[in-house]
Amino acid sequence: MKTNRFTTILSTALLLAFMFGCSQQPTQQKADASTQPQSSQLDTILKRGVLKVGFDTFKPWAMKDKSGNYIGFEIEVAKRLAADMGVEVEFVPTKWSGIIPALLTGKFDIIIGGMSITPQRNLKVNFSIPYEYTGMSVIASKKLAAGRTMSSEFNNPATTVAVRLGTTAAEITKNFLPQAKILFFDEESQTIQELLNERVHAVVASNPLPLNLAKEYPDKLYLPFKDDFTREPISFAIRKGDFDYLNWLNNWVLVTMSTGWLQNRYEYWFYTNDWENQIQ
């Protein structure tokens, strides 16, 4: 009787173990699958042999030279980044106001275009560590804004300010000059033309554009403020969920900074005019 009872208990235990094992097998397989490393965009780029870069034109970040080719700080950075990956680079010009949606739909692999980090952008994309910093400044019309040297003098309904749509300059202008009339344009060249044609009192933009404009048109334009009123970190932007790609980009920034390459190219494009004779 004891033997039969023991046999029954053993048989029941084996049956339960078998049933439990079978029921757990799909779950275990699912768990194993979930722990498998996902393919990184970096792998895709390396297999394709091409790094697709989204950008828009901002002087001196990216511009066309006299032959119609793109040059500028970000163009040089993108070419160096691709070379260090061992791949070719393909530039995908994209309107700034739609550049993040274009990245998210896979039109390119990365945004390299002087994009500053903001919490709102970071909800949609991942940013690398900063590889440069920029500041916002105001360039004003000598005729329409003569004698103004304080932000409060621009912060009134009688003042019109031009900014580029989708930029941090647009957001900063809303915060610093909430009472001014703000006009939004798709292209930076449009904001400059409005200023030169004396249809707006000022333009808010990232330096060195205001600084360069003041030098280029000393009879028409001036810098009302001595210093930039912001300091913004500029980073690469990629789609979320790709640690390997982000890790590679972060380390690339650290290495190129440690060798002085990034600083050297930044100085060339932002603090010299040696490249001016190349552009249209």
Domains in the chain with CATH codes: 41-133+232-278 (3.40.190.10), 136-222 (3.40.190.10)
In this prediction, residue 38 carries a pLDDT of 66
Q: Provide mean pLDDT across the span 9-21.
A: 42
Q: What value, to the nearest 5°, has the Cα angle with vertex 160 and ends 154 and 162?
A: 105
Torsions phi, psi for 262 (to 5 deg): -60, -45
Residue with more model confidence, 274 or 194 = 194
Residue 21 predicted with pLDDT over 60: no
Longest CA span, the chain:
113
In this prediction, residue 23 carries a pLDDT of 45
Residue with more model confidence, 269 or 22 = 269
Each residue's pLDDT tens digit, 25-66: 444 444 444 444 567 999 999 999 999 999 999 888 999 999
What does the mean pLDDT of the chain come to? Answer: 87
Positive or negative, the CA dihedral 276, 187, 139, 59 is negative
Torsions phi, psi for 119 (to 5 deg): -60, -35
The DSSP bridge partners found for residue 232 are 134
Q: Provide mean pLDDT across the span 201-218.
A: 91
In this prediction, residue 158 carries a pLDDT of 95
Residue with more model confidence, 268 or 34 = 268
CA distance linking residue 105 with residue 251, whole number of Å: 26
Each residue's pLDDT tens digit, 136-186: 899 999 999 999 999 899 999 999 999 998 888 888 899 889 999 999 998
Confidence of residue 106 (pLDDT cuts 50, 70, 90): very high
Residue 265 predicted with pLDDT over 50: yes
In this prediction, residue 53 carries a pLDDT of 98
Nearest to 94 by CA among 80, 105, 82, 81: 105
In this prediction, residue 232 carries a pLDDT of 87
Tokens of 48: 């394709």
In this prediction, residue 22 carries a pLDDT of 45
46: Cβ contacts below 8 Å, ≥ 6 apart = 85, 86, 87
Mapped onto helix, strand or coil, the DSSP state of residue 117 is: coil
Residue with more model confidence, 35 or 197 = 197
Residue with more model confidence, 211 or 39 = 211
In this prediction, residue 55 carries a pLDDT of 97
Percent of residues, the chain, with pLDDT higher than 70: 86
Nearest to 271 by CA among 207, 225, 214, 219: 207
Helices (H), ranges, the chain: 2-34, 41-48, 73-85, 99-104, 119-122, 168-176, 188-196, 209-216, 243-258, 261-271
CA distance linking residue 273 with residue 60, whole number of Å: 10
Q: Provide mean pLDDT across the span 256-271.
A: 94
Residue 5 predicted with pLDDT over 80: no
Residue 6 predicted with pLDDT over 90: no
CA distance linking residue 139 with residue 192, whole number of Å: 9
CB 86 within 8 A of CB 212: no
Residue 72 predicted with pLDDT over 50: yes
Q: What value, to the nearest 5°, has the Cα angle with vertex 206 and ends 273 and 199?
A: 95
